[in-house]
Amino acid sequence: MIYVVALVLALAFIVVGIVRLKIHPFFVLLLSAVGYGFITGMDVELIISSINDGFGSIMGKIGLIIFFGVAIGTILEKSGGAMVIANRMIKLIGEKSIHLAMMLTGYLLSIPVFADSAFIIMNSLNKALSDKAKVSYAGTTAALALGLTATHVMVPPTPGPIAAAGILNADLGSVILWGLIISSLSLVSCYFFATKIAARVHVPIHMETASDALHKPKLRLSLLCIAVPIVLIVLKSVFDYPELKLGASPVYPVIAFVGSPVIALLIGVALALLLPEKLDEKVYSATGWLGDAVRIAAPIILITGAGGIFGAMLQNSGIADLITESFSGLSIGLFFPFLLAACLKTTQGSSTVALITTASIVAPMMPALGLEDAFMKTMTVLAIGAGSTVVSHANDSFFWVLTQLTGMDVKQGNQVQTVGTLVLGTTAMTIIFVVSLVVN
């Protein structure tokens, strides 16, 4: 029972520390891990080695990947490339299909750009088009927000899914491929929610004069810095697939190098540096765009490292044996990580923290849950992502970004964002469960 008590106390401290005491998630996760170690009677040397090995191991896998992903998004946002993509998406889909245009644009932009930042970028365009098309601003906002959220929690190189994949040793290319499939299918129900339910909420539109002075890079370059890394990573996964037997191909060494996540995203950063009008100190200095990327990525990297410490502490404590005995014979499988992530998301607000913490807790339990093979590891990452959407409310920063920029009150925010994320998360989990039954 001591393991269960220690884990419950650790999870309770994570929630109270972040929500009530406003402690930075890195320190909350670190203190929770150390406290868990002492409560379960772990040797001091084992606690220290769990801290060092847990942090170092996960940083070696995904530290640079997270930073490069953030760097691409930061440059894309600040160079105007994100707005170029948004405008072209609107033009292709048409202003009459404003809900679909907003949803798909958000879906694409949130792969490299943080959902909060992408919403800020898109809100003025969303507002103007909603006013011009005379459609519900709440409905188009729901479409945009849910499109942003879908890829934010399920498609790398967004940091949360990258971190979860690294902690669970899931193949990143497989997570990207299945993440794109499942997240896009999940948006079908979200589209109907946005157009039929959220659209009933009345939110007045107060137009502001927009500036057109921003430099506009070429569309193909803006898309390349997103598409090339994803294609390279997925291509390497295809070449590594045992049944295809492509390992003997003469081009495999090249694919294996450029398709490794670190190199693929570094190539993406190099392509992103072609976007600014002028490559100068404003872009590459410590106080420039790359410096901003470091400041944005640092907390996420530290939180991910703390999640790695928590996971290592759980594994080294011997809880895996207890879980194996407890869960043997039960068929809860993918629903356990989904429900745990949902509880953590709902109680403390951050999808990224929910993803990392859940992955750290679930890692030693994978065999007991029947999720240890490669495909089920991918599905577990996505199940955690689906759970980390349920639900966005007043303790989520994105909830306040959405309500403050659109002029919604809390009740309207709950009707649009909270219910919308519930629809997205439960739909995604349903699809994940069906796919796992059919494919595995």
| Beta strands, E only, 54-124 | none
Nearest to 389 by CA among 434, 358, 433: 358
- Which amino acid, one-letter code, is at 192? F
User: Rounded CA gap, 22 and 302, in Å?
Assistant: 17
pLDDT at 86 (0 to 100): 80
User: Rounded CA gap, 85 and 76, in Å?
Assistant: 10
Angle in degrees, CA 122, 294, 348, rounded to 5 = 65
For residue 229 the two structure tokens come to: 């890394």
Dihedral sign for Cα atoms in the order 69, 74, 75, 79: positive
73 or 247, which is more confident: 73
| Burial class for 9, CB neighbours closer than 10 Å (0-12, 13-18, 19+) | middle
In the predicted model, what is the mean pLDDT of the chain? 88
Cis peptide before 157 (omega within 30 of 0): yes
Number of compact structural domains in the chain = 1
User: Rounded CA gap, 259 and 272, in Å?
Assistant: 18
Domain that holds residue 401: 2-439
Residue 75 has pLDDT above 50, yes or no: yes
The pLDDT of 62-69, averaged and rounded, is 88
pLDDT (tens digit per residue) in 405-429? 888 998 999 999 999 999 999 999 9
- The dihedrals phi and psi of 217, each to the nearest 5 degrees, come to -70, 170
Per cent of the chain over pLDDT 90 is: 44
What does the buried/exposed string (b/e) look like for 328-342 if buried means 16 or more CB atoms within 10 Å of the residue's CB? Answer: eeeeebbebbbbbbb
Residue 317 has pLDDT above 90, yes or no: no
pLDDT (tens digit per residue) in 291-303? 999 998 898 889 8
pLDDT at 146 (0 to 100): 97
pLDDT at 209 (0 to 100): 47
Instruction: Specify the pTM.
Output: 0.82
pLDDT at 155 (0 to 100): 94
Residue 210 has pLDDT above 50, yes or no: no
Start-end of H helices in 241-350: 252-258, 261-272, 281-284, 289-317, 319-327, 335-348
pLDDT (tens digit per residue) in 93-144? 876 788 999 999 999 988 888 888 889 878 878 887 888 788 899 999 999 9
Is-contact 271 258, C-beta < 8 A? no
Is-contact 389 153, C-beta < 8 A? yes
Angle, helices 98-109 vs 172-192, to 10°: value is 160
pLDDT (tens digit per residue) in 151-187? 999 998 888 999 999 999 999 999 999 999 999 999 9
84 or 165, which is more confident: 165
| Burial class for 274, CB neighbours closer than 10 Å (0-12, 13-18, 19+) | middle
Nearest to 408 by CA among 130, 209, 206: 206
